[in-house]
Homo-oligomer: A and B are copies of this chain.
Amino acid sequence: MKNIEIVGTGRYLPSRKIENWQLEQEEKLPKDYIYSRCGILTRYYVQEETIVEMAVRAAFDVIQKKKIDSSNIEMILVASTSSKEQMPGISFQVQKALQIPSCICLDVSAGCSGYINALDIARLYVSAGIATNALIIGVDVLSTITKEPATKILLADGAGATFIQATNEPKEYASLLESNGIEGDILTYQVGNYIQMNGKEIYRYAVTKTTKNIEELLEKTQKTIQDIDYFIPHQSNQKILDSMVKRLQIEKKKMISNIQNVGNTFCASIPIALDEVFDKIRPGQRILLSGYGGGLNTGSILLEK
């Protein structure tokens, strides 16, 4: 099994910036209600962008920043919960936009933490030597599929991209994925309907199950939380993030939180947050990515830059 490294990251946020007062007015909520509930100040909604265009723009962002020759990309994986694109899937449309004649494409649906699953699959293909590299995209357009204030104040649109490749250097990688369909009813979405969320149950699940998942991953890899340099959890709600930090007893400055500026973008949230800090992370530093959400699905990845 070959080692993998993250070569670069990219993101795309749509053009329409939405402030809390706009949503508070629209939903007849008291002033400062949103920030006090979830720590979000602004978020971005699509204007004319399609979900495919957002994925393509995030891909172009990493390709341009890292001067990647897109004709050499061997695998494209897209994670989304809001896609209607069945044939061709978003990954195939990204391949077309990048004019790649042949590679492996795949769309993945595994709830808000689908990006973790996509990255883990990509890693296996690269580690097994089937592909030498992979482009992983998380993208969601949630502004059009929320109806109730509880989801409207949280959810937003965005896309994040990560490019990995095989490396001969020693690089740690470990993951722990766990699904729990029995509790799947607490966060649901069927295409054509709206997202339904039981906020209290999600809070309980995220704080208990996800921290347990992280602790088990650390144990499996014989690491402690002190060995982690950057903790990048799914940006669900600032209150959940704060509770996770407390429970894990990780230094708060190690946790990356951008929810204040971009809201909760489901599958895009981890790759966007990773992109925001990627250049600061030094080679050899350890990153802990942790996703959780609809399914229910939880997954953490511990890897070295």
B96 x A87 contact (CB < 8 A): no
Mask of A81-116 contacts with B, CB within 8 angstroms, 1/0: 111111111011111100111111111111110000
The count of identical subunits is: 2
Residue A256 at the chain B interface, CB threshold 8 Å: no
CB distance from A296 to the nearest CB of B (A): 7
Binds B, one of A18-26, A157-165, A184-192, A234-242: A184-192
A103 x B191 contact (CB < 8 A): no
A107 x B105 contact (CB < 8 A): no
The docked-state distance in angstroms from the alpha carbon of A109 to that of B81 is 12
Residue A295 at the chain B interface, CB threshold 8 Å: yes
Partner of A86, one of B104, B179, B294: B294
The docked-state distance in angstroms from the alpha carbon of A296 to that of B105 is 9
Q: Write out the residue numbers on chain B whose beta carbons fall within 8 Å of the beta carbon of A87.
A: 81, 111-112, 184, 187-189, 195, 293-295
CB distance from A269 to the nearest CB of B (A): 15
Q: Taking A106-B108, A108-B106 as contacts, is the C-beta distance between A92 and B297 under 8 angstroms?
A: yes
B92 x A184 contact (CB < 8 A): yes
Q: Write out the residue numbers on chain B whose beta carbons fall within 8 Å of the beta carbon of A185.
A: 88
A96 x B182 contact (CB < 8 A): yes
Residue A41 at the chain B interface, CB threshold 8 Å: no
The docked-state distance in angstroms from the alpha carbon of A297 to that of B181 is 29
Residue A117 at the chain B interface, CB threshold 8 Å: yes
Residue A68 at the chain B interface, CB threshold 8 Å: no
Residue A128 at the chain B interface, CB threshold 8 Å: yes
The docked-state distance in angstroms from the alpha carbon of A92 to that of B182 is 8
Partner of A105, one of B84, B175, B179, B187: B179
Question: Of residues 120 to 159 in A, which have CB atoms within 8 Å of B's CB atoms?
Answer: 121, 124-125, 127-128, 130
Residue A180 at the chain B interface, CB threshold 8 Å: yes
CB distance from A198 to the nearest CB of B (A): 12
Q: Write out the residue numbers on chain B whose beta carbons fall within 8 Å of the beta carbon of A107.
A: 108-110
A181 x B110 contact (CB < 8 A): no
A296 x B108 contact (CB < 8 A): no
Q: Write out the residue numbers on chain B whose beta carbons fall within 8 Å of the beta carbon of A49.
A: none
Q: Write out the residue numbers on chain B whose beta carbons fall within 8 Å of the beta carbon of A6.
A: none
Residue A225 at the chain B interface, CB threshold 8 Å: no
Q: Write out the residue numbers on chain B whose beta carbons fall within 8 Å of the beta carbon of A227.
A: none
Q: Taking A1-B1, A110-B106, A179-B95 as contacts, is the C-beta distance between A88 and B296 under 8 angstroms?
A: yes
Instruction: List the 6 closest A-B pairs by CB distance, nearest first.
Output: A87-B294, A88-B184, A92-B181, A95-B181, A105-B179, A96-B181
Between A and B, 15 residue pairs with Cβ closer than 8 Å are A81-B87, A85-B190, A89-B110, A89-B295, A91-B179, A92-B111, A92-B179, A92-B184, A92-B296, A95-B181, A101-B182, A105-B110, A105-B297, A106-B108, A191-B191
Binding site for B on A (CB under 8 A): 1, 76, 81-89, 91-96, 99-112, 117, 121, 124-125, 127-128, 130, 175, 177-182, 184-185, 187-192, 195, 293-297
